Amino acid sequence: MNSQSSHTLQSGVLDLKDTATNDGRADSARDRTGRTAPHGHLRVEGCVPSPDDLLVPAALVRRYGLRAGDLVEGVPGDKPRVLADVARVNGHAPQEAGSRARFGDLTPLHPRERLRLETTADRVATRVVDLVAPIGKGQRGLIVAPPRTGKTVLLKQLAAAVADNHPECHLMVVLLDERPEEVTDMRRSVRGEVLASTFDRPPKAHIALAELAVERAKRLVEEGRDVVLLLDSLTRLCRAYNNSASSGGRTLSGGVDAGSVQGPKRLFGAARLAEEGGSLTMLATVLVETGSRADDYYFEELKSTGNMELRLDRRLADRRVFPAVDITPSGTRREELLVPTAELTALRGLRRALDLRDSRDGRDARDLRDQREPREGSSGLEALLDQIRRTPDNAAFLRQVRQTVPGASALAA
């Protein structure tokens, strides 16, 4: 019985660091000098260490050219929790693994193929995102969110939209330093791969999960696959790097290690469209208005790294407006590569009308720092939500907008 079960194929993600697992993703081990060590471990439970993980000997890593994030199927040997041989790598014969492209050698391009998020007429959140900040394959997007503005609900709806409209994309949701009940809820809601590290885990566990998840996504892109990764949150990842930093680094105001954002920047920077084929789309949340000087520093360092930004507004959320999107500062770089000219003209006219409405209400939507004056009357977003709820889809809504561009009087009134 034991002999038979020990030779059953095991699968997992290869992790090449200093911990071990069995049925997981391949991750390389490193020695104390930072050089790649000769062995790795298979993670069998969602990219996190498990007692059932398998040791992957150095000979197998070298023989097949295994990389961190590879999905490996192999045969356990006679020694407990040690892999004897590799049967498949990412679903292919292991001999093919050494000849594949390297992620770092792929040519990054601006996103060109749009990810449509609109699903049904009543799912207004994803309809608003399509209108305000269109997303393409390979997008590197920040969702800038104060506490209690509905970012978790928005992430669930974005994940559902990707699963509905783009089944060709491999969907990953990565939750860091999260409440256990939120993890359960996300796993039951999302039709995709949900990887999580809860708040009772040490900072290094959050870092290890994030790094291995991104490596897994890279391996898929190397095969020409399209990957969508939703990360919650970059701020918590920065905190984890900061808390794990050695005491010898330069410390800034607020107790922030000067190098604590480099790791998150490196991971977030993996999002791209590859000219050779494949893409990694990453939408990551960033926390603002938390009262933490460290979080403010993280946001200032990260805000220039994305090519799409969606800002949520606490005052809108306090008024029970969902999605609480602040329209004016939200948007996408080079959106003309994603949106047809006629649609883009209508969208820009729409935004001008909504900006005008907000200005008439005495609110400068471009200055998020001024929180002293309460907002009166309905906002541009509320006017937009009212209009799109009256139409069956965004195409019908934009046809109405074109009739009023450049004034877009129905929304500016």
Q: Is 126 annotated as a binding residue?
A: no
Long-range contacts of 147-150 (CB under 8 A, 24+ apart): 147/287, 147/289, 147/290, 147/314, 148/314, 148/317, 149/312, 149/313, 149/314, 149/316, 149/317, 149/324, 150/312, 150/317, 150/322, 150/323, 150/324
Structurally, how many domains does the chain consist of? Answer: 3
Q: Is 254 annotated as a binding residue?
A: no
Q: Is 138 annotated as a binding residue?
A: yes
Is residue 205 domain-shared with residue 293, that is, in the same domain?
yes
What was the pLDDT predicted at 120?
Answer: 92
pLDDT tens-digit series, residues 149-164: 999 999 999 999 999 9
Residue 239 tokens, joined: 């905190």
Domain assignment of residue 210, yes or no: yes
Mean pLDDT of 373-395: 77
Name the average pLDDT for the chain: 85
Q: Is 255 annotated as a binding residue?
A: no
Mean pLDDT of 5-9: 64
Burial of 354 (0-12, 13-18, 19+ CB in 10 A): buried
What was the pLDDT predicted at 252?
Answer: 66
Residue where the block lists tokens 């038979």: 4
Helix axes 151-165, 180-189, angle to 10 degrees: 20
| Among the ranges given (93-102, 139-148, 162-171), the one the predictor scored with the smallest mean pLDDT | 93-102
Is residue 330 domain-shared with residue 345, that is, in the same domain?
no
User: What is the H or E stretch that residue 161 is in?
Assistant: helix 151-165
Is residue 284 domain-shared with residue 306, that is, in the same domain?
yes
In whole angstroms, what separates CA 132 from the centre of its chain? 19
Is residue 255 domain-shared with residue 273, that is, in the same domain?
yes
Q: Is 88 annotated as a binding residue?
A: no
In the predicted structure, residue 409 carries a pLDDT above the cut 90:
no
Please list, in sequence order, all residues whose beta carbon lies within 8 angstroms of the beta carbon of residue 405, skipping any fewer than 6 positions away.
Answer: 345, 346, 349, 350
Is residue 54 domain-shared with residue 121, that is, in the same domain?
no
Is residue 74 domain-shared with residue 208, that is, in the same domain?
no
The winner for highest mean pLDDT among 17-26, 86-95, 374-383 is: 86-95
Domain assignment of residue 396, yes or no: yes
Q: Is 188 annotated as a binding residue?
A: no
Domain assignment of residue 368, yes or no: no
Domain extent at residue 153? 108-339
Q: Is 137 annotated as a binding residue?
A: yes
Q: Is 277 annotated as a binding residue?
A: no
pLDDT tens-digit series, residues 312-363: 999 999 999 999 999 889 999 999 999 999 889 888 888 888 877 666 655 4
Q: With contact defined as beta carbons under 8 Å apart, do 12 and 21 qualify?
A: yes
Domain assignment of residue 69, yes or no: yes
3-state class of 175 per DSSP? strand
pLDDT tens-digit series, residues 56-85: 998 899 889 999 999 999 988 888 888 989
Is residue 401 domain-shared with residue 332, that is, in the same domain?
no
Confidence of residue 205 (pLDDT cuts 50, 70, 90): very high
Q: Is 149 annotated as a binding residue?
A: yes
Question: Residues of 207-227 as b/e, b for ≥16 C-beta within 10 angstroms?
Answer: bbbbbbbbbbbbbbbbeebbb
> CA 286 to CA 302: how far, in whole Å?
8
DSSP 206-221: HHHHHHHHHHHHHHHH
Is residue 188 domain-shared with residue 75, that is, in the same domain?
no
For 336-380, the three-class secondary structure string (H helix, E strand, C coil) is HHCCCHHHHHHHHHHHHHHHHHHHHCCCCCCCCCCCCCCCCCCCH
CATH code of 68's domain: 2.40.50.140
Which of 170, 219, 154, 195 has its CA nearest to residue 50?
195
| Among the ranges given (12-21, 94-103, 233-242, 296-305), the one the predictor scored with the smallest mean pLDDT | 12-21
User: What is the H or E stretch that residue 282 is in?
Assistant: strand 279-287
Mean pLDDT of 196-221: 95
Domain assignment of residue 335, yes or no: yes
Domain final residue, candidates 77, 100, 123:
100
Domain assignment of residue 397, yes or no: yes
Residue 90 tokens, joined: 């990412």
Domain assignment of residue 252, yes or no: yes
Q: Is 140 annotated as a binding residue?
A: yes
Residue 315 DSSP class: H
What was the pLDDT predicted at 88?
Answer: 93
Is residue 300 domain-shared with residue 151, that is, in the same domain?
yes
> CA 240 to CA 175: how far, in whole Å?
13
Mean pLDDT of 277-285: 96
Is residue 335 domain-shared with residue 346, that is, in the same domain?
no
Domain assignment of residue 350, yes or no: yes
Residue 250 DSSP class: P
pTM confidence score: 0.85
Confidence of residue 25 (pLDDT cuts 50, 70, 90): very low
What was the pLDDT predicted at 378?
Answer: 56
What was the pLDDT predicted at 81?
Answer: 86
Is residue 210 domain-shared with residue 317, that is, in the same domain?
yes
CA dihedral sign, ordered 331, 112, 158, 173: negative
Mean pLDDT of 113-129: 94
Mean pLDDT of 22-47: 58
| Among the ranges given (108-122, 199-213, 374-388), the one the predictor scored with the smallest mean pLDDT | 374-388
Mean pLDDT of 241-258: 73
> CA 23 to CA 41: how far, in whole Å?
9
Q: Is 136 annotated as a binding residue?
A: yes
Q: Is 127 annotated as a binding residue?
A: no
Is residue 241 domain-shared with residue 347, that is, in the same domain?
no
Please list, in sequence order, all residues whose beta carbon lies within 8 angstroms of the beta carbon of residue 100, skipping any fewer than 6 positions away.
Answer: 222, 223
Q: Is 150 annotated as a binding residue?
A: yes
CATH code of 311's domain: 3.40.50.300
